[in-house]
Amino acid sequence: MLSYQHGFHAGNLADVQKHALLCVALDYLTQKDKPLSYIETHAGRGLYDLGGDMALKTGEAAGGILRLEEAFGADHPYRRRLAEVRVQYGEKAYPGSPMLAALSLRETDTMHLAELHPQEHGALNYAMGPWGPHIQQRDGMEMALAVTPPTPRRGLMLIDPSWEVKEDYVSIPKAMGQIARKWNVGILMLWYPILQSGAHVAMLRVLEQAFPEALRHEVRFPSVREGHGMLGSGMFVVNAPWGLAEEADRISGIFKRLG
């Protein structure tokens, strides 16, 4: 039974780290004319309302993108995408990763999205309709294994689970290994929480053994509420594109200002 709903967390500090890195990676990849594939295993609903009950209940966006936005230059790819979404959907709109990706891609590019939650899947279909991606209501890693190696072969996969199922800490690195064997040129971006419980630590050990050249970027931030066990967020990037490590350093600098 899935209970996680990203609407409570959209635009939080973890989204800022993940979405800024994603936008920079896609900005770099789309500088070349060659078409690419974008694959996302845990897509969410694609578009969020930061003025809605969910966002206001947690206040996570207020302490996230709404606090840090100015620290990214106006010309940063993440800021450019945010501005485009606000023009189209209103000042309180916030794009999920599928919409950030869609705004970066060209007509020659291909997009595969999976979302398992029935309500989120319905909303995703609606939000992403104008771009016509392939959307499946299916387990994300199963979809990823089915569509790799993709056509076009060049491309990026975002893996952004809700980590509700403890087994994911074992099954996701295992699936990433299988995907990388089938698609050795693919850029794989995995988001993970840094937890007080240390549940992520053994998974990172496995990933670093399998992908010694990968980029690992982590930011720490104050807990969103008392007793909340998330201390920060991380991105593990296999085949990181040019410039991503420098962008990760810039993001670390921005997060340090949070104190």
Active site residues: 160
The span from the first CA to the last CA of the chain, in angstroms, equals 37
| Residue 115 labeled ligand binder | yes
Nearer residue to ligand SAM within complex by CB, 49 or 153: 49
| Residue 140 labeled ligand binder | yes
Shortest distance, position 97 Cβ to ligand SAM, whole Å: 4
Sign of the dihedral defined by the CA atoms of residues 195, 68, 25, 22, in that order: positive
Shortest distance, position 191 Cβ to ligand SAM, whole Å: 7
Q: Find the DSSP H helices in the chain.
A: 13-29, 53-58, 65-68, 77-89, 97-104, 118-128, 140-147, 168-182, 201-210, 244-256
| Residue 19 labeled ligand binder | yes
Nearer residue to ligand SAM within complex by CB, 116 or 240: 116
Residue 163 neighbours by CB under 8 Å, 6+ apart: 169, 192, 193
Point out which residues bind ligand SAM (CB under 6 A). Answer: 2, 4, 6, 15, 42-44, 96-97, 114-117, 120, 139-140, 160-162
| Residue 117 labeled ligand binder | no
What is the number of the residue whose Cβ is closest to ligand SAM?
96
Q: In angstroms, what CA-CA distances link 201 with 50, 62, 113, 145, 205?
A: 32, 29, 28, 25, 6
Annotated binding site for S-adenosyl-L-methionine: 19, 42, 97, 115, 139-140, 160
Annotated binding site: 19, 42, 97, 115, 139-140, 160
